[in-house]
Amino acid sequence: MCMITDQPPSAATAGDAERSRLAEADSGERDWRAWGPYLSERAWGTVREDYSEHGTAWDYFPHDHARSRTYRWNEDGMAGVCDDRQTFCFALALWNGEDPILKERMFGLGGDGGNHGEDVKEYWWYQDSTPTHSWMRWRYHYPQAAYPYDELVSVNGLRGRDETEYELVDTGIFDDDRYWAVTVDYAKASPTDLCILITAANRGDQAARLHVLPTLWFRNTWSWGLPGRDRVPTLTGDGNRLVGEHWILGQLVLEGDGEPTALLCDNETNTERLWGLPGRSPYPKDGINDHVVDGAATVNPAGIGTKGALHYVLDVPAGGQAQIRLRLTRTAPPPGTEPAPRLDLGRDYAQTLAARHAEADAFFAGVIPPAATPDEAAVARQAIAGLMWGKQFYHFDVRQWLDGDPASVPPPPGRRHGRNSAWWHMNSFDVISMPDPWEYPWYAAWDLAFHCVTIARVDPGFAKQQLLLLLREWYLHPNGQIPAYEWAFGDVNPPVHAWAALRVFEIDGRRDHDFLARVMHKLLLNFTWWVNRKDTGGNNVFEGGFLGLDNVGPFDRSAALPVAGVLEQSDGTGWMAMYALNLLDMALVLTAHDPTYSDIATKFFEHFTYIAAAAYDQGLWDDEDCFFYDVLRLPDGTRVPLRVRSVVGLLPLAATTRLTSTTLHRLPELGARLRWFLTNRPEYADVLGARRLAPDGRQQRLLSMVGPDQMVRLLARMLDPEEFLSPYGLRTLSRRHLDKPFTVSLGGQDFTVGYEPAESTSGLFGGNSNWRGPIWMPTNFLLVCALRDYAAFFGDDLLVEYPTRSGVKRTLTEVADDLSARLISLFTRDGWGRRPIYGACELFQNHPDWRDLVAFPEYFHGDNGAGLGAWHQTGWTALVADLILTLRRPRPGPE
């Protein structure tokens, strides 16, 4: 255990190292992505591990079982890494000498535990990661007093929806700075050779002891009774190292400096503790926990098993720190039975850590514009780190899950007709970008689309692979539906896949036409599914259900309506208009290489026209209110507009693109069709008619669901501080509903929507999130992008009042820039040195050890910007990095 003192390489040497690794990975020359942070922070309480009859995942596999019960589909751990098949797992375990159990995984509560959703009650941060994971840093603050499990459960259990959640910081456990700041650094010497540095810093004013247990184990794939899958790998303790043998992986060695004790048990369920039944091993999964905490004889004295840890006991003075050097290396291919070599923990190790850190600095210096402030650059880098750490191994064979495993108790018969039973074709075995590794440790289709936009800034190859993955035959339903998320694959997420693919294509340099064509071919199936399934009236206005916006309406849009009828949705119709334009844009790009796409371009031009015009014909646009509303169409033909001013009515702004005269000249059939519409269908002029000269002198035409007149009037609503515009972005619900909630009476019941800037008091849609006032990054990002699209058409000629009633006129580019700056300011320090996301929490705002560790919350208070919801939702919240890169990009100077 010692300090790293070797000097990093020069910036010139480091500059292109990470880009070279990415090129090698993309070409297949060297698989630098083979090992990564693909180990989830939570596998308990998930759908995959739930074999109950009624889908009570958190009850079926609770946190209390996690240390003792073997997972079926994937593993979890802290600061963890694994290979891309999750053959092996490595993670950190800690013990402060006071807790009742080892800290092997993060603790949190679900919605039925007094939370507003699934919420972790710990503090850790993903501080850094390159896209190949050649350099990574993770940070955790671990209390030195006993972790208050019971207090968090009991206090939260007494709180209602109108009260804030009781967090770990509220217990006072950090008040006297008696905690451990634990940092884990990873540096790759090769794709399968990891140098690991654990730093444990005692922030308290007294000397303290910390048990550190770097843990290596094999995922249990042998005990489920599946044919041909019963081979058991082995881990053997050998002094200061663990040596593993696996028939697929080969030989694996974890070696540490100093004199740790090797502790071995088996990754098998402790059936005696859980159910009073004999188990498969006398040294089960929780054997190391019981041995360290209670001194039990529950580790194998023979030093062999399938789970092992190197047990370090660190005595650290007040204000001091200790470090542990580790190396994890694949030392031989299968069968890997020869004697394992010793690993270098000296000069080569130190040089590798220093070099990879310097190369990461050089890489991000080439990604983040120099015009970004140091604070903005730090936020962008940590946002990207969160995305990189959010890549998780995801295994889920739905047919097998429905049937149950041969060696297990058969699942209840009701599962045959329950959750995900129509998705039996799905068989996932991939590394996927998750919304976050704890609160949402499962992919969500529309989240993933937004992730890929920011991921493409550093790793376009992975971003493209992710977008293609959900369109593959083992994900996409045979009927063309894209799976939503594991709680209900059949739910409907907004169709943003095409939009994301176009943005990734642009970021990647507009050169990978094969990628665009592959995406488009599958999306033709999905678009057809939408048309056939979500336009019940055949009138080109669409339903879709909650469409990712959960409780935005007066009633659950995914449930049966309170009265007979059809809910025609402004956002669903806007999404589909945008989808048609995205596919039109794809076809226009691809026609340059294959003229047969010209027919597809014409098809989606026409389909967009029908959808955009139908929004007005069918009454979604209210000309008096200058807003789009959902409309309830009753069986007798009566239409009941649901006059809720929400993001539902703003999203049609995102359905826009431009056609240049060059494009129309290159595609005469499309040009002729456009002219035919304008001559013979003048009612479509509002969505097709805007025309002007571009800065280069070419004529261009605007295709937009929101015509120029409607756009200016709608923006007056959107940019009004008394409605949507907050100091930190756009609210999802107009603030006018604070004093004037919307209420509609249907079927003898009243349904109400009121402005709630923070957590919702409504249990609608499970009470899992709130779209009734807070600021959400994805919808803000889409609307900022839409403003930039309109600005590309109107240039500086169109000025709008911003903010509304301010008397100040600004261009659309200036508005988009200011909205971007407001969203970025959620994370950066203001004039008082405070980050709005941290609200009134003084520890996070002022403490030098906390204030620069940036969290990426799921959404934000609509008035003061405080972070809400999931605390590590670096998935779509990482869009802030794209906003920083766009806002601070070099601008062309005056000629």
Q: How far apart are CA 107 and CA 105, in angstroms?
A: 7
Where do we find the tokens 């005269």? 661
Percentage of the chain modeled with pLDDT above 70 = 98
pLDDT band of 723, cuts 50, 70, 90: very high
Q: Which tokens in the block code for residue 239?
A: 């002094």
- Helix/strand/coil percent split, the chain, to 5: 35, 20, 45
pLDDT of the residue at 162:
84
Q: Is 680 exposed, middle or buried (0-12, 13-18, 19+ CB in 10 A)?
A: exposed
Cis check for the bond before 803: say yes or no (omega within 30 of 0).
yes
| pLDDT score recorded for residue 10 | 53
Sheet holding 656-660, edge to edge: 656-660, 699-704, 691-693
Give strand pairing partners of 209: 315
Tell me the pTM: 0.96
d(CA 122, CA 42): 13
The mean per-residue pLDDT over the stretch 690-708 comes to: 87
Question: Position 870: which residue type?
Answer: A
Residues 817 and 887 sit within 8 Å (Cβ to Cβ): yes
Q: Residue 599: which pLDDT band, with cuts at 50, 70 and 90?
A: very high
Q: Is the peptide bond before 335 cis (omega within 30 degrees of 0)?
A: yes
**Environment class of 848 (CB within 10 Å of its CB; exposed 0-12, middle 13-18, buried 19+):** exposed
Stretch (H or E) spanning 715: helix 708-718
pLDDT per residue as tens digits for the range 404-443: 999 888 888 888 889 999 999 999 999 999 999 999 999 9
- pLDDT value of residue 5: 44
Please count the helices (runs of H) and the strands (runs of E) in the chain.
25, 35
Going from the C-alpha of 40 to that of each of 29, 56, 407, 855, the distances in angstroms are: 28, 20, 25, 18
* pLDDT at position 893 over 70: no
Residue 620 token pair: 């979604």
Give the pLDDT confidence score for residue 3 in this predicted structure.
Answer: 40
CA–CA separation, 700 and 794 (whole Å)? 10
Q: pLDDT band at 4, cuts 50/70/90?
A: very low
Residue 767 region, left (φ>0) first, then alpha (ψ -120 to 50), else beta?
left
3-state secondary structure of 575: helix
* E strand or H helix that includes residue 657: strand 656-660
**In this predicted structure, which of 124-133, 154-163, 341-350 has the lowest mean pLDDT?**
154-163
CA torsion through residues 256, 261, 262, 266, sign: negative
Q: Return the pLDDT at 540.
A: 95
CA separation, residue 876 to residues 75, 125, 470, 776, 857 (Å): 24, 16, 17, 9, 10
Residue 102 has pLDDT above 50, yes or no: yes
Q: Where are the beta strands (DSSP E) in 257-399?
A: 261-265, 304-305, 307-316, 321-332, 391-397
Residue 1, pLDDT score: 42
764 pLDDT higher than 90: no
Place of tokens 């025309």: 691
| Contact assessment for residue 116 and residue 869, using Cβ atoms and an 8 Å cutoff | yes
Beta bridge partners of 813: none
| DSSP assignments along 594-631, one per residue | -TTHHHHHHHHHHHHHHHHHHHHHTT-EETTTTEE-EE
Q: How far are the Cα atoms of 519, 547, 706, 889 from residue 502, in angstroms, in the given order? A: 10, 21, 21, 20
Q: What is the DSSP string of 119-181?
A: EE-S-EEEEEE-TT-SEEEEEEEEESSPP-HHHHHHHHHT--TTS----GGGGTTTTT--EEE
pLDDT at residue 740, as a whole number: 96
Q: Judge whether 345 and 240 are in contact, CB under 8 Å.
A: no
Q: Looking at this protein, which amino acid is placed at residue 708?
A: P
Q: In this structure, are residues 667 and 600 in contact, taking their beta carbons and an 8 Å threshold?
A: no
Tell me the pLDDT of the chain averaged across its residues. Answer: 94
Beta-sheet pairing, 124-129 with 261-265: unpaired
736 has pLDDT over 80? yes
Residue of 15 and 518 predicted with greater confidence? 518
Of residues 121, 18, 94, the one with CA closest to residue 309 = 94
Sign of CA dihedral 225, 228, 229, 230: positive
Q: Report, as an integer, the average pLDDT of 375-388.
A: 98
pLDDT of residue 895: 47
Say which amino acid occupies 557.
Answer: R
Is residue 301 exposed (0-12), middle (13-18) or buried (19+ Cβ within 10 Å)? exposed
Under 8 Å CB-to-CB from 586, ≥6 apart: which residues? 498, 501, 502, 516, 519, 520
Residue range 327-337, pLDDT digits in tens: 999 999 999 88
Provide CB contacts within 8 A for 69, sequence distance 6+. 61, 269, 270, 274, 285
**Weakest-pLDDT range from 153-167, 193-207, 715-729, 823-837:** 153-167
32 pLDDT more than 70: yes
The region of weakest confidence among 377-386, 596-605, 689-698, 734-743 is 689-698
pLDDT in tens, 61-72: 999 999 999 999
Least reliable range by pLDDT among 504-508, 539-543, 685-689, 713-717: 685-689
Distance between CA atoms of residues 759 and 460, nearest Å: 35
Extended beta strands in 166-317, E state: 179-190, 193-202, 208-218, 234-237, 241-246, 250-256, 261-265, 304-305, 307-316
Could you tell me the maximum CA-CA distance found in the chain, to the nearest angstrom?
Answer: 87
